[in-house]
Amino acid sequence: MTSERHSTRDQLIGADLLTLAMLSPARLASIFDLAAAVKADVRPYGESLRHKTAILIFEKPSLRTKVTFEVGIHRLGGTPIFLDQSASRLGERESIRDYGKNLERWCQFIVARVHSHRSLEELAEHARVPVINALSDRFHPCQALADLFTLRERLGSLEGVRLAFVGDGNNVCHSLMHAASLLGVDTTVVTPPGYAPAEDVTRECRGFAESSGATLNITHDTAAVEGHHAVYTDVWVSMGQADQAAKRRRAFEDFRVDAAMMRLASRGIGREALFMHCLPAQRGVEVTDEVIDSPSSVVYDQAANRLHVQNALMLRLLGAVGE
């Protein structure tokens, strides 16, 4: 990042949010505290984004991200404008620089769901208004905010919490690792060989974990889920990976989250482990119906909390509430 808007982890007002690595643990905690307040009663914040317009640029299909941002902006008094870029990616019809230079003159912030993280970085570099990453091939920060907020809400605190991610070391995994390592949550990532998280993200998270006192374990052994408060998984075949579907399903076959894995995770923690998924889920593939529909599943709480953490994030980035 070259802009001063990206240079400090202690400044949120007017900044971009492309990855959670841009935030300090204190800033993450402040977003969670505000999200809890907004969730409890949104009425005091109902005029906070009045006369503010957000551009929602989506290159990929969406349910939770699109609806929660549009509903959230409305509830805070702002106006969302949706731009469907699924037929023409950013940079094809006109340069991303020109796109950003135009949008910054009409709106107060941009929410972008893109194929390439580089497109997001370029947009943020040239637009003088905050850019929020609503998903890229590298990171999914808003999802991870909702995930850790949900864990804090369900467990009462993140102190001593152990989280296991089972599956593909993808964008969801990357942002989950960021959030967990920054907030001191011990994390175990279990993937098939060849599908581990990116090395640069792992190095970054090990540094965060060292500072927060957390542990980060990357392994290929599913037995490592034992003694974790939550087990998280994601689809094995993401958008744009259809040509790899058969290969991926073979590689991940032994990594399905089922009742036996959840019992193993629950061992020694004094309660049933929670099941987490960012959705959409391929039922019977990466998770069984028995698990995703069980009382210990918090997948719909995660989806609901996308609304509240994103509202808090927007309020912070736009300086609509005091620190």
CATH number belonging to the domain at 4-140+306-317, selected among 3.40.50.1370, 3.40.50.720, 3.40.47.10, 3.40.920.10: 3.40.50.1370
Supply the pLDDT for residue 2. Answer: 36
Q: What angle do CA 122, 179, 60 make, to 5 degrees?
A: 45
- Judge whether 128 counts as a catalytic residue: no
Q: Taking the domains of the chain in order of start, what are their residue ranges? A: 4-140+306-317, 142-303
Supply the pLDDT for residue 1. Answer: 36
Q: Are 136 and 171 in contact (CB under 8 A)?
A: yes
Supply the pLDDT for residue 240. Answer: 66
**Model's pTM, two decimal places?**
0.95
Q: What is the CATH number of domain 142-303?
A: 3.40.50.1370
Look up residue 234 and give its two tokens.
């994601």
Q: Of 126, 306, 308, 316, which residue is the catalytic one?
A: 306
Q: Of 27, 126, 138, 140, which residue is the catalytic one?
A: 140
Q: Of 27, 113, 229, 256, which residue is the catalytic one?
A: 113
Cα 45 from Cα 39, distance rounded (Å) = 11
Q: In tens digits, what is the pLDDT along the chain, a chain of 323 residues? A: 334 444 355 578 999 999 999 999 999 999 999 999 999 999 999 999 999 999 999 999 999 999 999 999 999 999 999 999 999 899 999 999 999 999 999 999 999 999 999 999 999 999 999 999 999 999 999 999 999 999 999 999 999 999 999 999 999 999 999 999 999 999 999 999 999 999 999 999 999 999 999 999 999 999 999 999 999 999 998 766 677 888 999 999 999 999 999 999 999 999 999 999 999 999 999 999 999 999 999 999 999 999 999 999 999 999 998 76
Adjacent-strand bridge partners of 57: 83, 112
Cα 213 from Cα 192, distance rounded (Å) = 27
Q: Are 75 and 19 in contact (CB under 8 A)?
A: no
The answer to whether the 4-140+306-317 and 142-303 domains have the same CATH topology is yes
- Judge whether 306 counts as a catalytic residue: yes
Supply the pLDDT for residue 239. Answer: 65
Q: How far apart are the first and last CA of the chain?
A: 25
- Judge whether 143 counts as a catalytic residue: yes
Q: Of 85, 108, 143, 310, which residue is the catalytic one?
A: 143
- Judge whether 113 counts as a catalytic residue: yes
Helix (H, G, I), strand (E, B) or coil at 41: coil
Q: Of 107, 278, 302, 308, which residue is the catalytic one?
A: 278
Which residues make Cβ contacts (< 8 Å) with residue 135, sequence separation at least 6? 60, 62, 65, 113, 114, 142, 143, 171
Supply the pLDDT for residue 237. Answer: 86
Q: Of 234, 277, 308, 310, which residue is the catalytic one?
A: 234
